Structure 1
């Protein structure tokens, strides 16, 4: 899957994962991102499923790679998943300072109301469970020593990537391949995030060719996220007309989001027992409604 395809898929998330957007709807159907809706197989939410589907549609960034380059791709993908991914989870989701001041705050601002109240905590729990599965029982023995070992191996992994990239624009020459997309997806968030505690981030910034690699991809395929100043040119009448046409749908989506959120909270309150309705026994004392005949007699 080429970086151009990744850019096309990611563009709707320029600002927020707003209610009513295609990616927001897909995330509700699949429960997670990335998600791809297809006619043949429905909604795909696993990365390998999405890549396999795109390759069937003749979208294959690895078509020109040799057998050795294909083997290198598999080796580096396995290395990143084993050595770098656990540390990225720890950096963004387990490190208390990073999670409170950056990760949870960012997701709470990006996710629409009322999901932003509980989805970040749910995602935090899922990441912790995943990290425990990766660590196994060793995380209970000496967590501090294990953390030091993890970060040491992650720094070695970044150094190895830097040596493999060298002076090339991409890992296999002048054209991006799936390995470039995979490496970028892991390095770009770490490079661009404003983390209060950036131990691994500092090591990445010391590897200039990897920083240039991420900056080049951002400017080529994600210009709206590449740090470029927004254009100061006045909006055309066509764009203003488009915004005015979308305004009613925007308000409708916001109102629907609020109503769905209220219904979900009320349903949760009843199901969890926070709110309950109790009916008294038959014949119990209580205020008795006044019949119409009695009301007329009292008026006379």
Structure 2
């Protein structure tokens, strides 16, 4: 068996193995493929190998910063969730990844980190209670600033010119994105049938925090909850692949194809 890679990620919460969507994508991909992954759940980014972020460390000492394409590292060890996809399915997956990153991700950042009520009553509160003293006094605010900068990069300079108008438009597009995902999934177990692919890891990592968080201002969350197949999809992945909260990945009940 291949030596495990190591993931340094934020601790779990809200019923999820990690509250960080990017780390959740890596965790989920490892569970889908049965790839060996030793998980270090931390409560401060400075406890990672290089400090200040979340990292995946390969057995040979290579380090990838999260977010990162899990297929690159895991497939190198012959754990490839997309091995059985057709050319058409692979093209569809790329299109949906672009849709998620362009239309949904910025609004998720806004929902958790910019919306004042959600940030103060939910996001900052969770991190302040989780991060050890005395870092909990200033680290959540530093993370908040970093997310604001990230959002401005994603939305461009227009965000600062007419914030209210842009928010309304982008939340509309995010709701449309969720609806498209619901339509594409239909009654299937996963997006390409009975076996999960990398797209499923990404979709789950984006939707599960939105579904499980107790947000005081849940305008996008309510739309997700109205799409029952997406809710069932998230619940099913949690129950199938994360029935425990251990530090190392265990083989999934239905391993994806190896390549």
TM-score between both structures, scaled by the size of structure 2: 0.77
| Paired position in structure 2 for 1:184 | 204
1:116-167 deviations in Å (ceiling 9; x for gaps): 2222111110110011111212112211110000100000000000000000
Count of residue pairs brought into register by the alignment: 217
Structure 1 residue 29 corresponds to structure 2 residue 57:
no
For the residue of structure 1 that corresponds to 2:50, the secondary structure is helix
Could you tell me how far apart the structure 2 residues matched to 1:69 and 1:211 are? 23
The farther-off stretch of 58-67 and 114-123 is 114-123
Equivalent residues in 2 for 1:258-297 (5 A)?
none
For the residue of structure 1 that corresponds to 2:84, the secondary structure is coil
From 136, 142, 160, give the equivalent of 1:122.
142
For the residue of structure 1 that corresponds to 2:57, the secondary structure is strand
Please say if residues 46 and 52 of structure 2, whose CA atoms lie closer than 8 Å, have aligned partners that are also in contact.
Answer: no
Structure 1 residue 108 corresponds to structure 2 residue 131:
no
| Paired position in structure 2 for 1:54 | 74
The farther-off stretch of 59-68 and 129-138 is 129-138
From 144, 149, 158, give the equivalent of 2:178.
158
For the residue of structure 1 that corresponds to 2:68, the secondary structure is helix
Give the structure, 1 or 2, with the largest relative contact order (CA under 8 Å, sep 6 or more): 2
Please say if residues 4 and 221 of structure 1, whose CA atoms lie closer than 8 Å, have aligned partners that are also in contact.
Answer: yes
The farther-off stretch of 45-54 and 96-105 is 45-54
Unpaired runs of at least 5, structure 1: 226-300
From 180, 187, 190, give the equivalent of 1:167.
187
Could you tell me how far apart the structure 2 residues matched to 1:77 and 1:49 are? 11
Could you tell me how far apart the structure 2 residues matched to 1:146 and 1:8 are? 43
Structure 1 residue 202 corresponds to structure 2 residue 222:
yes
Please say if residues 3 and 181 of structure 1, whose CA atoms lie closer than 8 Å, have aligned partners that are also in contact.
Answer: no
Q: 1:140 to 1:207 in 2, by over 3 A?
A: same
Could you tell me how far apart the structure 2 residues matched to 1:120 and 1:101 are? 13
Measured after TM superposition, the shift of residue 83 of structure 1 is 0.2
Please say if residues 7 and 222 of structure 1, whose CA atoms lie closer than 8 Å, have aligned partners that are also in contact.
Answer: no
Larger Rg: 1
| Paired position in structure 1 for 2:252 | none
| Paired position in structure 1 for 2:115 | 95
Hey, which of these two has a bigger chunk of helix by percent? 1
Please say if residues 2 and 178 of structure 1, whose CA atoms lie closer than 8 Å, have aligned partners that are also in contact.
Answer: no
Aligned CA-pair RMSD: 2.2
| Paired position in structure 2 for 1:255 | none
Measured after TM superposition, the shift of residue 30 of structure 1 is 4.6
Could you tell me how far apart the structure 1 residues matched to 2:209 and 2:34 are? 15
Measured after TM superposition, the shift of residue 85 of structure 1 is 0.3
Q: 1:66 to 1:8 in 2, by over 3 A?
A: same
Q: 1:155 to 1:143 in 2, by over 3 A?
A: same
Please say if residues 61 and 176 of structure 1, whose CA atoms lie closer than 8 Å, have aligned partners that are also in contact.
Answer: yes
Could you tell me how far apart the structure 1 residues matched to 2:155 and 2:80 are? 34
